[in-house]
Chains A and B, each alone.
Chain A
Amino acid sequence: MTAHHRHGSESPAIRTEAIETLLVEKGLVQSAAVDALVERYEQDIGPLRGARVVAEAWTDPAFRARLLQDGMPAIRELGFGDNTDSHVARLMVKENTESVHNLVVCTLCSCYPWAVLGLPPAWYKSPAYRSRAVREPRRLLAELGLDLLPDVELRVWDSSAEVRYMVLPQRPQGTDGLDAEELTARVTRDSMIGVERL
């Protein structure tokens, strides 16, 4: 039985080999290129790019303004964005304040701002997160350890189409003396998705 015929009951590893063999035979992929891409994913710095973007926005008000206006050109200034998928039209960055909190989800699949955060974590792709983030975001955030005050406005961004979203977290207090590298180290991936505040 091969991938030509039906979705086998074999293990996913065997099925992956079968589909790879077929795609190579058909001239659609080359195994060496696949090897290289897997390696690139695994060495990908992932959310570190987003953290650098955040640190820059915290320290440069003009950059912050450009970032909030249109994310993709702004992150290109820092040398990021080249690895973006071509099916992404825009990157929008949403700023948390004392009175506004932003949360990112994709209920239809698992769209995620790869350009700044790398590949998504498992929980972001889970049915529990995708189903609940739009209906009961406060309860969900509370379960994850983030109790928002009742008067904080919650904005949930369901990235259902070709726009990707990233949260610009608030700069933590007591970080005035830190340099860019130290600030970058304070930024967590989860704060840029919106399930955490710094």
Chain B
Amino acid sequence: MNGIHDMGGMHGFGAVDRRSDEVLFPEAWQGRVCALAGYAMGAGLANIDAFRHAIERMPPDRYLSDGYYGRWLYALETLARERLGGDTTPERPEIGSVTREVNREPRFAVGDPVRTWNRHPQGHTRLPGYARDRRGVIADIHPACVYPDTNADGRGESPEYLYTVAFESRELWGEEAEAGATVYIDLFEPYLEALE
């Protein structure tokens, strides 16, 4: 979805304050939320993609003001409200790898030129907005993985090959791009079309 979480390239957030980093959990509740989220997902409250999408569905102002573990807390509340109503308890899922065997070869090879699709799904996706409808080159091929776009909203795992795609900075940012920079993004096969 075109949400506040999709931050690549945005202006206005100022300088990076690297000094404010030394305490893992400045407040005790943050550590508890971190652990609670892990256990609740493991016990079947939601899969990781649905959890991420619950964060993305936050109102943008809350996303920015609640902080990292505040977002996790908000997402836990959302998922609990949506899924724990009544007396039902989620089934405990198989915890295992995110990679899947598929009966087909990857569509692309390293070095292939590709273009990303120009879609604006309302649901969860891993194609950042700044890399939509952009030309890149396949830099690496990874095993097929659970496809987050469908897994996030209950449409199933429908595994897809995952690629690392290299984008020249200028392709992404135009004339004002910094020279000599390449951005590598991990993208699922459906996002990509072959370029001649």
- A121 adjacent to chain B (CB < 8 Å): yes
Contacts of A122 in B (CB 8 A): 20-21, 68
- Our pick among B18, B31, B81, B187 for the contact of A160 (Cβ within 8 Å) is B187
Considering the complex, give the chain B residue whose CB is closest to the CB of A157.
Answer: B184
- A42 adjacent to chain B (CB < 8 Å): yes
Tell whether A22 pairs with B84 under 8 Å between CB atoms, given A125-B68, A162-B186: yes
Considering the complex, give the chain B residue whose CB is closest to the CB of A90.
Answer: B142
Instruction: Give the tally of cross-chain contacts (CB within 8 A).
Output: 237
A108 B5 Cβ-Cβ under 8 A: yes
- A28 adjacent to chain B (CB < 8 Å): yes
A161 B188 Cβ-Cβ under 8 A: yes
Residues of A in contact (CB 8 Å), total 74
Tell whether A161 pairs with B43 under 8 Å between CB atoms, given A109-B5, A153-B180: no
Q: How far is the CB of B33 from chain A (nearest CB, A)?
A: 6
- A48 adjacent to chain B (CB < 8 Å): no
Contacts of B162 in A (CB 8 A): 89, 161-163
Q: How far is the CB of B28 from chain A (nearest CB, A)?
A: 7
B16 A132 Cβ-Cβ under 8 A: yes
Identify which of residues 47-106 in chain B touch chain A, using a CB-to-CB cut-off of 8 Å.
48, 52, 55, 62, 64, 66, 68-70, 73-74, 76-78, 80-81, 84-85, 89-90, 95-99
A158 B184 Cβ-Cβ under 8 A: yes
Question: Looking at A6, A90, A139, A140, which has the most chain B CB atoms within 10 Å of its CB?
Answer: A90
Q: Mark B23-46, 1 if CB is under 8 A from A, else 0.
A: 011011111111110111001110
CA distance A35 to B10 in the complex (A): 38
B186 A163 Cβ-Cβ under 8 A: yes
- A152 adjacent to chain B (CB < 8 Å): yes
Considering the complex, give the chain B residue whose CB is closest to the CB of A128.
Answer: B13
Considering the complex, give the chain A residue whose CB is closest to the CB of B177.
Answer: A135
Contacts of A28 in B (CB 8 A): 39-40, 43-45, 89-90
- Our pick among A3, A15, A19, A160 for the contact of B128 (Cβ within 8 Å) is A160
- A178 adjacent to chain B (CB < 8 Å): no
B185 A163 Cβ-Cβ under 8 A: no
Tell whether A108 pairs with B95 under 8 Å between CB atoms, given A16-B33, A155-B182, A160-B185: no
Contacts of B20 in A (CB 8 A): 122-123
Q: Which B residues fall within an 8 A CB radius of A? A: 5-11, 13-18, 20-22, 24-25, 27-36, 38-40, 43-45, 48, 52, 55, 62, 64, 66, 68-70, 73-74, 76-78, 80-81, 84-85, 89-90, 95-99, 126-128, 130, 140, 142-143, 145-146, 148, 162, 164, 172-173, 178-188
Q: What are the nearest 8 A-B pairs in CB distance? A: A107-B8, A121-B21, A161-B186, A37-B35, A131-B10, A128-B13, A16-B29, A28-B43
